[in-house]
């Protein structure tokens, strides 16, 4: 019997007595795209009816707050912009309107090559005389202490813009701690953006106090074109331990015919092992039990004239290991090799070999 009212504890439990249905379809079963199709679809994004108008509306709406942002930065607060969509354009427009007298340093946290050491050196080279900085320690932690002491004794304003403060290059706790100590300096004006929904979990209360953030909802609905250019978008939903199946074909095309034959032989053996084990589900991943002992595989490669000696075999096999196209696991004292792809992926690979 349903509750008569939707409020109160009876109504609450009545509305939640049945669990919501959750899809059991894995992301790996989504339609496969090649890079050309992906670029074409992304290019058509702004042609969606009303989408570009919505972006323009949000841009005009956000510009209204530029004066407030300037005031908050000048009063010693740090700004943190969050929301759906890339915020790089709106930050760039804000800088063009603000035009601070202080030097401005921009860091892209979404770039895996970014790190706190480079940022710190940029700040040091900007606000500290070269003769003074040459005698400073090289370790970032010690160099940061000397910089903060120098800024306290010789105030030199500097603006630091961090796109994707929660980016993969900056999200470790040590880097965040260093950045918070830098933001705490009265000479530093920091504006940062975050994109991940769990970004607030990065900072304990003590660190948040040092950052002294004013949070601004800055949804732009703009695509993360630049931010995602450093990641394999087409590999979403696939194992992080291996390259995508589409990338395998590209790798094989750059290798010799014998190397291609070696990989084809391993894929064939694993596919047959999975079939013999009664596997037919296309999403079943290849694991060590579907693999083959490495020494036996070497002997088979020699018998089929794929390799002539062990050195030649190791050179070819190492190439596949470096590209995460094979894995090697020690089990019961033996090295077992297998291909870390699903049953459906193996069928696609075999079909490519036949072309």
Please indicate, yes or no, whether residues 226 and 249 belong to a single structural domain of this protein. Answer: no
Please indicate, yes or no, whether residues 249 and 210 belong to a single structural domain of this protein. Answer: no
- pLDDT tier for residue 324 given thresholds of 50, 70 and 90: confident
As a whole number, mean pLDDT of residues 168-189 equals: 93
- pLDDT tier for residue 94 given thresholds of 50, 70 and 90: very high
pLDDT of residue 289: 87
What CATH number does residue 145 fall under?
Answer: 3.40.50.300
- pLDDT tier for residue 47 given thresholds of 50, 70 and 90: low
Question: Does residue 20 register a pLDDT over 70?
Answer: no
pLDDT of residue 214: 96
Nearest-angstrom CA–CA distance, 189 and 79: 9
Please indicate, yes or no, whether residues 69 and 176 belong to a single structural domain of this protein. Answer: yes
Residue 28 placed within a domain: no
Please indicate, yes or no, whether residues 210 and 280 belong to a single structural domain of this protein. Answer: no
pLDDT of residue 253: 81
- Of all residues in the chain, the percent with pLDDT exceeding 90 is 43
Please indicate, yes or no, whether residues 226 and 258 belong to a single structural domain of this protein. Answer: no
Residue 111 placed within a domain: yes
* Residue indicated by tokens 């943190």: 80
pLDDT of residue 235: 59
* Per-residue model confidence as pLDDT tens digits over 254-313: 788 898 999 999 999 999 999 998 888 888 888 888 999 999 999 999 999 999 898 889
Domain count, the chain: 2
pLDDT of residue 241: 47
pLDDT of residue 244: 62
Domain that holds residue 284: 245-354
* Per-residue model confidence as pLDDT tens digits over 231-252: 666 555 554 445 566 678 777 8
* Domain end among 230, 260, 291: 230
* Domain end among 201, 230, 259: 230
Please indicate, yes or no, whether residues 316 and 288 belong to a single structural domain of this protein. Answer: yes
Question: Does residue 6 register a pLDDT over 90?
Answer: no
pLDDT of residue 50: 64
Question: Does residue 35 register a pLDDT over 70?
Answer: no
> Pairing mode, if any, of strands 78-82 and 188-193?
parallel
Please indicate, yes or no, whether residues 219 and 288 belong to a single structural domain of this protein. Answer: no
Question: Does residue 178 register a pLDDT over 90?
Answer: yes
pLDDT of residue 90: 95
- Of all residues in the chain, the percent with pLDDT exceeding 70 is 82
Residue 238 placed within a domain: no
Please indicate, yes or no, whether residues 81 and 157 belong to a single structural domain of this protein. Answer: yes
Which tokens sit at 254?
A: 């750059």
Average predicted confidence (pLDDT) for the chain:
85
Residue 36 placed within a domain: no
Flag whether the pTM goes above 0.85.
no
Residue 306 placed within a domain: yes
Please indicate, yes or no, whether residues 47 and 160 belong to a single structural domain of this protein. Answer: yes
What CATH number does residue 349 fall under?
Answer: 1.10.10.10
pLDDT of residue 92: 94
Residue 7 placed within a domain: no
Please indicate, yes or no, whether residues 267 and 198 belong to a single structural domain of this protein. Answer: no
Range from 8-22, 35-49, 121-135, 341-355 that averages highest in pLDDT: 121-135
Please indicate, yes or no, whether residues 167 and 68 belong to a single structural domain of this protein. Answer: yes
Please indicate, yes or no, whether residues 99 and 171 belong to a single structural domain of this protein. Answer: yes
Question: Does residue 49 register a pLDDT over 70?
Answer: no
Question: Does residue 5 register a pLDDT over 90?
Answer: no
Residue 6 placed within a domain: no
Write a three-state SS string for the chain: CCCCCCCHHHHHHHHCCCCCCCCCCCHHHCCCCCHHHHHHHHHCHHHCCCHHHHHHHHHHHHHCCHHHHHHHHHCCCEEEEECCCCCHHHHHHHHHHHCCCCCEEEEECCCCCCCHHHHHHHHHHHHCCHHHHCCCCCCHHHHHHHHHHHHHHCCCCEEEEEECCCCCCCCCHHHHHHHHHHHCCCCEEEEEECCCCCHHHHCCHHHHHHHCEEEEECCCCCCCCCHHHHCCHHHCCCCCCCCCHHHHHHHHHCCCHHHHHHHHHHHHHHHHHHHHCCCCCCCCECCHHHCEEHHHHHHHHHHCCCCCCHHHHHHHHHHHHHCCCCEEEEECCEEEEECCCEHHHHHHHHHHHHC
Residue 309 placed within a domain: yes
Which tokens sit at 165?
A: 């403060």
* Domain end among 230, 258, 289: 230
């Amino acid at each position: 019997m349903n509750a008569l009212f939707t409020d109160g504890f009876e109504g609450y439990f009545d509305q939640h007595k049945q669990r919501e249905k959750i899809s059991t379809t894995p992301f790996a079963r989504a339609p496969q795209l090649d890079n050309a199709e992906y670029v074409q679809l992304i290019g058509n994004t702004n042609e969606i009816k009303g989408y570009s108008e919505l972006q323009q509306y949000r841009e005009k709406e956000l510009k209204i707050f530029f004066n407030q942002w300037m005031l908050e930065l000048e009063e010693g607060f740090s700004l943190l912009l969050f929301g759906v969509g890339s915020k790089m354009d709106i930050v760039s427009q804000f800088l063009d309107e603000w035009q601070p007298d202080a030097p401005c340093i921009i860091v892209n946290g979404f770039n895996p090559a970014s790190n706190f050491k480079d940022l710190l050196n940029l700040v040091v080279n900007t606000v500290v005389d070269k003769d003074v900085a040459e005698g400073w320690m090289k370790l970032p932690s010690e160099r940061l202490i000397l910089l903060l002491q120098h800024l306290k004794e010789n105030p030199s304003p500097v603006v630091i813009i961090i796109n994707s403060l929660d980016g993969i290059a900056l999200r470790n706790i040590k880097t965040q701690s260093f950045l918070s100590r830098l933001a705490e300096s009265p000479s530093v004006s920091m504006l940062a953006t975050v994109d991940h929904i769990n970004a607030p979990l990065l900072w304990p209360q003590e660190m948040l106090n040092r950052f002294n953030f004013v949070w601004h909802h800055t949804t732009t609905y703009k695509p993360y074109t630049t931010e995602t250019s450093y990641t394999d978008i087409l590999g979403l939903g696939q194992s992080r331990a291996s390259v995508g199946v589409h990338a395998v074909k590209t790798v094989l095309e750059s290798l010799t015919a014998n190397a291609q034959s070696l990989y084809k032989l391993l894929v064939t053996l694993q596919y047959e092992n999975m079939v013999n084990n009664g596997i037919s589900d296309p999403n079943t991943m290849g694991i060590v039990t579907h693999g083959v002992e490495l020494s036996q595989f070497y002997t088979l490669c020699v018998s089929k004239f794929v390799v002539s000696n062990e050195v030649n075999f190791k050179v070819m096999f190492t190439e596949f290991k470096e590209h995460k196209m094979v894995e090697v696991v020690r089990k019961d004292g033996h090295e077992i090799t297998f291909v870390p792809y699903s049953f459906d992926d193996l069928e696609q690979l075999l079909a490519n070999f036949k072309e």
